[in-house]
Amino acid sequence: MNRVVVRKAEKMTKTKGGILLPDSKAIEYNFATVLAVGPGRVNNEGKLIAPNVKVGDQVLLPEYGGTKVIMAEE
C-alpha cells in the first residue's frame, strides 16, 4: 500500500514573545511529521518502488489534499 500517516503541526496560539493569539488569528501550518509509511507501490514491471519519506520526516501538505482520519485517543 502506498500510504503515509502524518500528524499535522498544531496551530500557533502564542507568539515567540509570549503574546496569546485569539482563535481567529491563530496561525495554521501546512506541514506535518510522518508517523508511519507503507511499503510502497508496485510498478508495471512488478518491482516495488519504496517511498522517499521515512518516519520522523517533516513534510509539506497540500492545501486541499489528503484524507482526514480521526483516531481514538487513549
Residue 34 has pLDDT above 80, yes or no: yes
CB contact at 8 A, 23 and 52: no
Domains of the chain as residue ranges with CATH: 4-60 (2.30.33.40)
Q: What is the pLDDT of residue 8?
A: 83
Q: What is the pLDDT of residue 48?
A: 92
pLDDT one-digit tens code per residue, 45-60: 999 999 899 999 998 8
CA-CA distance, 53 to 34, in Å (whole number)? 8
- All three cell numbers of 25, joined, read 488569528
